[in-house]
Amino acid sequence: MIRESDAHGVGQLSHFRCRGGRYSGAMGPRILVLNGPNLNMLGVRQPQVYGDNSYADIVEICRKAASERSAEVEVRQTNDESELLGWIHAVARERNFSAIVINPAAWTHTSVALADALVIPEVPIIEVHISNVHAREPFRHHSYVSPIAAGVIAGFGPAGYRYAVDRAVDLS
């Protein structure tokens, strides 16, 4: 049993059952979708690169993709790297998610700490990027996350989240 916060910050108790050594909810696999810095500004920040979809649109895409696969999804965003690391550590401690989809944003190219944290939970990791990072500035071509990810999806816009959630369910 774990305590989760709802949209209003009110704690709720949730029960999970174990399937194949990985935790799943009442519907099936539980996927955690994590988003790094500035993704809360989607729809405002560089629409020529990231499109017109808002962060709320990304959340809805993930929820719909999970629902279609009888899975559960929790979508989070932070501009604070220590908060992101804490969420990943909680997955390892609580064993309450069967896979992680992550758009590390700028931390993709800079954070050894993030790469180190992502191996701790021992669940499949899917790296996703809205833009094609390999067609952009050279500093964006390197990822500290890719070597430990089960797969990388980049350049498909918001649909990349759908593909990532779908694959995460397959790997759960």
142 among known catalytic residues: no
Element holding 82 (H helix, E strand): helix 81-94
140 assigned binding-site residue: yes
89 among known catalytic residues: no
79 assigned binding-site residue: no
From 50, 134, 141, 142, active-site residue: 50
From 8, 15, 55, 129, active-site residue: 129
48 conformational bin, left if phi > 0, alpha if psi -120 to 50, beta if neither: alpha
3 assigned binding-site residue: no
116 assigned binding-site residue: yes
| The pairing of beta strand 99-103 with beta strand 30-35 | parallel
Q: Helix (H, G, I), strand (E, B), or coil: what is residue 8?
A: coil
CA distances, 87 to each of 32, 46, 145 (Å):
9, 28, 16
Catalytic residues: 50, 129
Residue stretches of the annotated binding site: 103, 109, 116, 130-131, 140
Residue stretches of the annotated binding site for substrate: 103, 109, 116, 130-131, 140
